[in-house]
Chains A and B, each alone.
Chain A
Amino acid sequence: MSKEGILEKTAAPVHLEIPEEYELRDEISDLKKSDSELFTIIKESMNKIKPAYISTYPPTECGIATFTRDLLTSVQKYMPFSRPVVLAIKRAGEIEPYGRIVKRQVLRDDRQSFIDAAEYLNKSSVDVVSVQHEYGIYGGVEGEYVLDFLRALKKPAVATLHTVLSNPNPDQKRVLQELAELCKVVVVMVRTGRQILMDVYGIPSKKITVIHHGVPNVHRVSSSSVKRTLGIADRQAISTFGLISRGKGIEFAIEAMAKVVKKYPNALYLVLGETHPGVRAWEGESYRNFLLETVNRLGISNNIAFNNRFLSLSELVKYLCATDIYITPYLNKDQIVSGTLAYALGCGKAIISTPYLYAEEVLADGRGMLVDFKSPDAIADAILYLLDNPDKKQDMEDKAYKFGRRTAWFNVAIDYLDLFHRVAEAHKERAASVGRESNK
């Protein structure tokens, strides 16, 4: 067996049967050939809006890129007569085989590239611009080139904030404040984010909207049936997934397993995902190697399995469906969103997490268990509590699933679409009113 553990032997892609979606777009496309009268009625009746998205974008491996693709895809499913555009941010010298939807590449560390991108949009038929904001994906001091883009942009913009720091440095604060000023609306994914924006940054409440992080549309299946397909039918499966880096605190969950396996010797902790490409470039696999050393030191190599590669959505969903308990042992109290935690909720999992801001809010009201930061004992006690009390675990799963359904991408997309329409309409009305004034 490789030192990476059990799953390395079965690392061939696995796919959950998420149903093939026959979309509105497909149905309307058929109509064009078979019933042109109905096709024309639908075409004339349906609302149209053309959004542009500025962000990192797949195949770039990063959480923001994945989020943007999922958001765009979900919104577009309701807009069969509109074509969105993507302006993809990348570093100079990187060659990314983007799809055709990427109409322009923006160089992260080139201020002029952002200004040019805005001018490109100004001349386009785009109605609204969705800015995905995370300090690190934009160049300049604390990502200030996003401000150059927004200052040059004449189209209305909506920013989704992926990081909201409660203790920003002066530059971080300045960038976020001006970004909010230049955008029509800023979106955060939890209510706590809204409060921080108001209290710390002085952003008015009316400018802030809360829209949850989207999750794949997954209907619940019993974990035992999926576990069989992974060859772990007799194991209590505990998992963490995502791009691996030191801030994830995975070593504390591994240490917790040493206590768990004394009572549940079949318990298996799955650490799914590759090392974050940015981290790998900086320090190689030293964090993963540290985790492996921890496993060996504790003598629990039969209870920990790593799968060190970027997992497709269907693979992730399959592993999540096989999971009995999901853990986010993250270390950053200020973390305002976690895609992986959102996904686990969407799959209706029993979740244990450290109390970072996002987890505190979404796991409230019995939807999960919060444990202290850096506390293997607390994690172990929570795992044992859930394994010892299947009824409590079931109750938690039911509550998580119910919450997760509301945040399925198809629902979140409607919230964004509603926002895009409102912002675009307000912009058009304002422009028309200015036009009327100048004609007087």
Chain B
Amino acid sequence: MMEMDLRIDTRMVEGIPILHLSGEVDAYTCPFFREAMLDTIENGSPSMVINMDDVEYIDSSGLGTLVGGLKRASEKGGKIALVCNAPQVRKVFEITGLEKVFAMFETEEEAANNLASLAKENQA
């Protein structure tokens, strides 16, 4: 059921993994989402873009999962960038103030380029 309510497609842009989420990010689907983020980090990509444009709803478990992912990514020297243009989801970040915690971008490419530049700066 979780997989039916939340779909996660992963691809690479500029060497940065993009997790494209479609559906609902809530208490039912968060274990699936958490696993996808942690797998990405464990597989050597501490930075990632999470595209939430096709997310219908997010609840506080979803926000908690994102914060947990950010923590794990930070531990490995990575960052999480969000693409979040869906008004009902964007509103949740604005009202809670979490929009100031996550780097938010208009497009996947913009987000991936930003993370790729940061990775290069860190290597230099």
Q: In the complex, are the beta carbons of B5 and A405 less than 8 A apart?
A: no
B112 located at the interface, meaning its Cβ lies under 8 Å from any Cβ of chain A in the complex: no
Mostly helix, strand, loop or mixed at chain B's interface? helix
Chain B residue with Cβ nearest A46: B97
Asked if A27 meets B68 with Cβ closer than 8 Å, knowing A45-B97, A46-B97, A410-B60, the reply is: yes
* A-B CB proximity, top 5 nearest: A410-B59, A77-B60, A27-B64, A45-B100, A47-B97
Q: List 17 A-B contacts (CB under 8 A).
A: A19-B27, A19-B30, A22-B30, A25-B64, A27-B67, A30-B71, A34-B71, A42-B98, A45-B97, A45-B98, A46-B96, A46-B101, A78-B60, A78-B95, A219-B1, A410-B60, A414-B91
Q: Which of B12-51 contact A (CB under 8 A)?
A: 24, 26-28, 30-31
Q: Which of B31, B57, B67 contacts A410 (CB 8 A)?
A: B57
Q: In the complex, are the beta carbons of B63 and A78 less than 8 A apart?
A: yes
B8 located at the interface, meaning its Cβ lies under 8 Å from any Cβ of chain A in the complex: no
Q: In the complex, are the beta carbons of A42 and B1 less than 8 A apart?
A: no
A429 located at the interface, meaning its Cβ lies under 8 Å from any Cβ of chain B in the complex: no
B74 located at the interface, meaning its Cβ lies under 8 Å from any Cβ of chain A in the complex: yes
Asked if A23 meets B95 with Cβ closer than 8 Å, knowing A42-B67, A45-B100, the reply is: no
Chain A interface size range? 35 or more
Chain B residue with Cβ nearest A410: B59
Asked if A41 meets B101 with Cβ closer than 8 Å, knowing A24-B61, A219-B1, the reply is: yes
Q: Which of A15-49 contact B (CB under 8 A)?
A: 18-28, 30-31, 34-35, 38, 41-42, 45-47
A418 located at the interface, meaning its Cβ lies under 8 Å from any Cβ of chain B in the complex: yes
Q: A19-B27, A22-B61, A27-B67 are in contact. List 10 more A-B contacts (CB 8 A).
A: A18-B27, A21-B60, A25-B64, A26-B64, A42-B67, A405-B24, A405-B56, A410-B26, A414-B91, A418-B91
CA distance in complex: A22, B75 (Å): 21
The total number of A-B Cβ pairs within 8 Å is: 93
Q: Which of B64, B95, B98 contacts A418 (CB 8 A)?
A: B95
CA distance in complex: A407, B71 (Å): 31
Contacts of A41 in B (CB 8 A): 101
Q: In the complex, are the beta carbons of B96 and A38 less than 8 A apart?
A: no
Q: Which of A21, A38, A221 contacts B74 (CB 8 A)?
A: A38
Asked if A38 meets B71 with Cβ closer than 8 Å, knowing A45-B101, A410-B60, the reply is: yes
Chain A residue with Cβ nearest B63: A24
CA distance in complex: A237, B30 (Å): 32
